[in-house]
């Protein structure tokens, strides 16, 4: 589920960790957020456990080490 909405800075700064993901099919950890010249660190700038887990799950799917129940992967050279 995707929820596009504005978040108060206090909510962002209270997060244990954060990451971004998009159509490039990668997971990018967020180490800090800068607002009005002040830098707010998330998880001490380290990659968190949830980010690591999501990254592993995505890579396992992409490398076909885990099932693809949604048919996201396909082989363009496969015989149909």
Whether residue 41 lies inside any domain: the answer is yes
Instruction: Round to whole Å and give the CA distance between 18 and 20.
Output: 7
pLDDT in tens, 4-45: 888 899 998 889 999 988 777 689 999 999 999 999 999 998
Question: Distance between CA 53 and CA 9 in Å, rounded?
Answer: 25
Q: Which domain, by its residues, includes 45? A: 9-62
Has residue 67 been placed in a domain? no
**For the whole prediction, is pTM greater than 0.85?**
no
Residue 43 lies in a domain: yes
The count of structural domains within the chain is 1
Looking at the domain assignment, is residue 80 inside a domain?
no
Q: Is 33 helix (H, G, I), strand (E, B) or coil?
A: strand
**pLDDT at residue number 25:** 65
Range with lowest mean pLDDT among 6-10, 19-23, 47-51, 76-80? 76-80
Whether residue 25 is contained in a domain is answered as yes
Given this model, what pLDDT does residue 1 score? Answer: 66
């Amino acid at each position: 589920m995707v929820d596009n909405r504005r978040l108060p800075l206090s909510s962002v700064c209270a997060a244990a960790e954060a990451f971004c993901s998009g159509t490039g099919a990668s997971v990018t950890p967020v180490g800090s957020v800068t607002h009005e010249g002040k830098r707010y660190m998330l998880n001490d700038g380290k990659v968190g456990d949830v980010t690591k887990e999501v990254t592993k799950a995505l890579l396992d799917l992409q490398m076909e080490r885990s099932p693809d129940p949604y048919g996201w992967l396909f082989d363009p050279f496969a015989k149909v």
